């Protein structure tokens, strides 16, 4: 390809990326400016693309309701506990399925576990509600959602961890056995570090799912425990929606996952290309 062509292609690419960037960034931009407008401007029929007055007070107004901050804390507790449990079970089950397919049921069981993730959640919403009600007396607890989200997160964790474990050459473990180490020691010192980046990826997926989940949270909790997706609709009153507060609160709720991603990204990229054995 000639230099001229190369430049043309590059130009087209930049134009395409520019357009794409505008398309996906616009909603975000609109969210930010909306969170800074006053109520009157927000509810105007003709939208404004730059706030006429900056109302920074919106960001303090969202905390007026004392439950709002607690909802972020609740969300964090539920998402984190669920992630830890998903990862714990997913790692153990994934290892079993990858290394001992015969004893653990193999491909069929793995497929069945994954299929749990495939049904539409709405289908089991009501049965789940009554089931939890019967079993625990109430659904309005952290534990209810932590357990419930396992239904969605654990299959994903099991399946992905299985794939990651399969990528770890069996010879590494065998070499360690021959070197005289016990299976648990081998698992924790040799195998687990190699799937570490995979675990981080799985943790992120599980955490984000639990953090954002609305359907079950709306049904199960709301009095003693509230997650933030349940709180956001509460900015709608009978006559109007306080979009500015909705946007402000949503923006605040975006901070934890973004921070988490930035922190964990380092661990994800590192070591993904292992170069363990020569094929």
Partner 1 sequence: MAEVRLSEVNKVYEGRGQQVHAVRDLDLVVEDGEFVSIVGPSGCGKSTTLRMIVGLEQATSGQILFDGDMVNDLDPQERNVAMAFENYALYPNFSAEENIGFPLEARGIPKQERRRRVHELAELLQIGNILHQHPNTLSGGQKQRVSLARALIREPAAFILDEVLGHVDGHLRFQMLFDLKRLHQSLDSTMIFVTHDQMEAIALSDRIAVLHQGRLVQSGTRDELYDTPATRFVADFIGEPPTNFFDARFVEEGGEETLRADDLALRPTAETAARLRSRDDRRYVVGIRPQNLLCTPRAGTISFDATIDIHEYLGERSILTLRRGGLSFQALASAEGSWAADEPITLHYRPEDIMVFDAESEALIA
Residue 180 touches partner 1, criterion: CB under 8 A: yes
181 counts as binding partner 1 under rule CB under 8 A: yes
Contact between 193 and partner 1 per CB under 8 A: yes
Closer CB to partner 1, 60 or 273, in the complex? 273
| Distance of closest approach, residue 154 Cβ to partner 1, in angstroms | 27
User: Binding partner 1 by CB under 8 A: which of 24, 122, 182, 223?
Assistant: 182
Q: Which two tokens stand for residue 272?
A: 């993904």
Residues 159/114, Cβ–Cβ less than 8 Å: yes
Distance CA 138, CA 159 (A): 31
Work out how close the CB of 106 gets to partner 1 at its nearest, in angstroms, rounded to a whole number.
11
Q: Which two tokens stand for residue 58?
A: 């919106």
Q: Is residue 278 within the footprint of partner 1 (CB under 8 A)? A: yes
Q: Which is nearer to partner 1, 183 or 233 (CB)?
A: 183
Q: What is the total count of residues that contact partner 1 (CB under 8 A)? A: 23
Query: Which residues face 236 on adjacent strands?
Result: 241
Stretch that binds partner 1, among 56-64, 152-160, 176-184, 234-242 (CB under 8 A): 176-184
Does 254 interact with partner 1 (rule: CB under 8 A)? no
Contact 145, 78 (CB under 8 A): yes
| Residue 106 contacts partner 1 per CB under 8 A | no
Cα angle, residue 85 at apex, residues 271 and 228 outer, rounded to 5°: 100
**Interacting span for partner 1 (CB under 8 A) from 17-25, 63-71, 182-190, 250-258:** 182-190
Smallest separation, CB 182 to partner 1 (Å): 7
Give alpha helix (H) positions in the chain: 3-34, 39-42, 58-61, 67-99, 101-104, 106-115, 125-136, 142-167, 170-178, 183-186, 192-212, 215-220, 228-231, 243-269
Cα separation, 197 vs 188, whole angstroms: 14
User: Among residues 11, 12, 175, 215, which is the contact residue for partner 1, using CB under 8 A?
Assistant: 175
Residue 176 engages partner 1 in binding (rule: CB under 8 A):
yes
Sign of CA dihedral 267, 272, 275, 278: positive
Rounded distance between C-alpha atoms, residue 159 and residue 156, angstroms: 5
Does residue 160 contact residue 198 with C-beta atoms inside 8 Å?
Answer: yes
- Could you give the CA distance from residue 151 to residue 207 in angstroms, rounded to a whole number? 14
Pick from 66, 127, 137, 275 the residue near partner 1 by CB under 8 A. 275
Please report whether residue 172 would count as binding partner 1 according to CB under 8 A: yes
Q: Which stretch binds partner 1 (CB under 8 A): 17-25, 69-77, 181-189, 251-259?
A: 181-189
- Confirm or reject binding of residue 276 to partner 1 (CB under 8 A): yes
Gap between the Cα atoms of 214 and 19, Å rounded: 32
- Binding footprint of partner 1 on the chain (CB under 8 A): 169, 171-172, 174-182, 185, 190, 193-194, 271, 274-279
């Amino acid at each position: 390809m000639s230099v001229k062509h190369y430049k043309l292609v590059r130009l087209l690419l930049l134009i395409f990326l520019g357009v794409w960037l505008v398309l996906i960034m616009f909603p975000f931009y609109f969210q930010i400016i909306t969170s800074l407008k006053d109520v009157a401007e927000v509810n105007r029929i003709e939208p404004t693309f730059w706030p006429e007055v900056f109302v920074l007070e919106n960001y303090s107004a969202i905390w007026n309701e004392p439950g709002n901050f607690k909802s972020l804390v609740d969300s964090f507790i539920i998402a984190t506990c669920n992630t830890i449990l998903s990862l714990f079970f997913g790692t153990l089950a994934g290892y079993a399925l990858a290394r001992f397919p015969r004893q653990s049921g193999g491909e069929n069981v793995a497929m069945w576990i994954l299929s749990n993730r495939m049904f539409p959640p709405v289908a089991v919403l009501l049965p789940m509600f009554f089931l939890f009600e019967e079993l625990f007396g109430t659904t309005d607890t952290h534990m209810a959602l932590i357990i419930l989200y396992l239904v969605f997160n654990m299959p994903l964790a099991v399946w992905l961890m299985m794939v990651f474990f399969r990528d770890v050459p069996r010879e590494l473990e065998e070499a360690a056995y021959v070197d005289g180490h016990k299976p648990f020691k081998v698992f924790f010192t040799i195998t687990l570090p190699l799937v570490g980046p995979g675990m981080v990826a799985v943790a992120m997926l599980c955490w984000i799912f639990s953090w954002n989940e609305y359907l079950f949270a709306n049904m199960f909790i709301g009095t003693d425990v509230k997650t933030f997706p349940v709180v956001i609709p509460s900015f709608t009153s009978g006559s109007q929606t306080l979009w500015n507060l909705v946007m402000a609160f949503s923006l605040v709720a975006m901070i934890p996952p973004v921070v988490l991603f930035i922190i964990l990204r380092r661990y994800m990229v590192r070591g993904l290309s292992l170069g363990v054995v020569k094929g």
